[in-house]
Amino acid sequence: MQIRELKIPDSYEITPKQFGDDRGVFLEWYRFDKLAEVVGHPVQLRQANTSVSKRGVVRGIHFADVPLGQAKYVTATHGAVLDYVIDIRVGSATYGQWDSVLLDDVDRRAIYLSEGLGHAFVALTDDATVSYLVSDTFHAEREHGIDPLDPEIGLVFPEGAGEPLLSPKDTSAPTLAEAAVAGLLPTWDDMRAYYASLDAAHVAGEGE
């Protein structure tokens, strides 16, 4: 597989190598060791989620308190979505910026985003099925959202997605500025320290 860092630090696009024949296709869509080589530590997976969305559905922007936070490894097993990673780390050089990756059942790419980053996607097809592996289980009291239509962030949705369809929870979520004032956002320095602690724990574990 090929792994490319996105313009938001600590997020990556993963393109698997596919092997096709007259029976169908085989691929490795997740390899903990390959990802660890670029991230600095293997991801401790604790939960797997799947969502099915009709065209136009927007899910996000979501993030969780750190520690532990939720690092996410996301792919589309059916249909297509445009997946977004948003830098919500106060003090980051790319704070408030985003990057996106097309996830579909053709190229079968995945996206990885580290703890402390915001995540969202828009469904480009009906029955778009997204599966993602996360580094911690769901804790409602530690989960937060930012309005995906916040003009300060300026997510761009493809015309083919149609009118954005949001849940009441996402519609009522604060803007990035409001979340910052409320003290909900992680900081760049705190996240750098957290990532370093995960790297150090991995190195220590290898030395045992």
Among the listed residues 172, 162, 146, the one whose alpha carbon sits nearest the alpha carbon of residue 82: 162
Burial of 82 (0-12, 13-18, 19+ CB in 10 A): buried
- Measured CA distances, 42 to 35, 63, 195, 199 (Å): 7, 20, 11, 9
For the question of residue 62 being annotated catalytic, the response is yes
Q: Is 32 helix (H, G, I), strand (E, B) or coil?
A: helix
pLDDT digits (tens, 9 = 90+) for 14-30: 999 999 999 999 999 99
205 has pLDDT over 80 = no
pLDDT at residue 142, rounded to an integer: 95
pTM of the model: 0.94
Residue among 62, 84, 144, 194 flagged as catalytic: 62
Residue among 12, 73, 84, 132 flagged as catalytic: 132
pLDDT at residue 208, rounded to an integer: 60
CB 110 within 8 A of CB 75: yes
CA distance 83 to 77: 13
pLDDT digits (tens, 9 = 90+) for 79-124: 999 999 999 999 999 999 999 999 999 999 999 999 999 999 999 9
